[in-house]
Structure 1
């Protein structure tokens, strides 16, 4: 009987590990190592990277079409999604800083709330008055970002997520965060040579010409 005990123990351990994996909500597992937000099982077979800008209308279209489906992929534990910011302008920076406000575990919900609300706030940004543009593009960074968050109703979105206005203002005043996000955008541009958003990589390989869910989904499915 002693000879079988190690085998039995290993079998029990594997079963317990599988049970833990099956019960894990991978949509709440977030790793910020490497500069992005890796959502999902770190041991996932497929590593999907998304390069996104909040002021990119095509990114908003992609989010509307694909968010639910990608959540299903991630929830299986077979796909890990790495969301990486491409910060293009002060409005984009403001949204990105708010998405990064608070602990990493809140990022997936923050990201979805902001990008899925894009159809409501992006037209306002595109029709900004001269006075709004003056507030958004001149003066101290924290004041500019607070003006953007107010005019585009970002505060309302984030308060709906459970944040307090004072906490949001602290995040928008974090110049170290603003610098880090800008530097990470540049580092990713140098490394990945991303020329348009949204763009995607699977298992570390940038997908040429893939900027829509209709093109990405078949390539994901093929790897299953």
Structure 2
């Protein structure tokens, strides 16, 4: 599946979804970083790098030391089964590398369907520190979330016909995503306010589209390590690449 423009995202609001492959054949990867083991970089006193999150200029969420010498970036879809698989496998071991201060891990959005946009807006209702935990929970419960999408197709079809300022709100309610996030600390009023912010939603899609075009990203998950594209999208490929770059 490939990324979609904002207009096409709206038109696909009622399309049934299934857990399926969502990646694409990677282009020729760049030259991955190589180096000796890098000594751990202590976090500021009384803190841990795994609690540190900053927002990058690309509007991604950087977990860990923002000046880490080994920078892992993932372009991800919240409704991508391969992204869910990576999250389920890599969440805990990757956190150990981040905790050393040598590795940072950045999540950036790539939108494959309108639900990705609803989820991205709801994630951004919370402070940046919650972005990674909320994403992990979405991927962990992806099958349940998809069941909610497919159980209420009539309401989602109706939502797709509403004016833009109301569309994401209606989709969030009909899909069950507002309730999902309410159970995780995002109140309904807060969620509806975030989903009504059409300019921010459009800006997210436009930024994602530009980055994907500039970098040749056509599917999810796609990984970059210190700016070089990784030929692979599973933890068994990513971990050796981190080690080769100096992570331990």
**TM-score, length-normalised on structure 1?**
0.83
The structure with the largest helix share of the pair is: 1
CA distance in 1, matches of 2:147, 2:191: 23
Q: Point out where structure 2 has 5 or more consecutive residues left out of the alignment.
A: 1-40
Deviation, 1:65, is 1.2
User: More displaced, 111-120 or 58-67?
Assistant: 111-120
Matches within 5 A, 1:1-224: 21=44, 23-34=46-57, 35-125=59-149, 127-208=150-231, 210-223=232-245, 224=247
Distance 1:130 1:78 in 2: 46
Does the 8 A contact of 2:152 with 2:175 survive in 1? Answer: no
Unaligned runs of 5+ in 1: 1-17
- Alpha-carbon displacement from aligned partner over 1:40-64 (angstroms, at most 9, x marks no partner): 1012121000110012111111111
RMSD over equivalenced CA pairs, Å: 2.0
1:201-220: per-residue Cα shift (whole Å, max 9, x none)?
00011113x12222212212
What SS class does the counterpart of residue 132 from structure 1 fall into? Answer: helix
8 Å contact from structure 2 (residues 156, 171) kept in 1: no
Structure 1 CA distance, aligned partners of 2:151 and 2:229?
35
Distance 1:23 1:196 in 2: 39
- Greater gyration radius: 1
Instruction: Give the deviation of 1:184 after TM superposition.
Output: 1.3
Structure 2: how far apart are the matches of 1:19 and 1:182?
36
CA contact (8 A) 1:114 1:154 kept: no
1:111-138 deviations in whole A, cap 9, x for unaligned?
A: 222222212112443x355413413422
Tell me, in whole angstroms, the C-alpha distance in 1 between the residues paired with 2:191 and 2:165: 11
Q: Deviations over 1:5-30 (max 9, x none)?
A: xxxxxxxxxxxxx7654642212212
Mapped partners of 2:79, 2:159: distance in 1: 14
Q: Is the 8 A contact 1:201 1:207 kept in 2?
A: yes
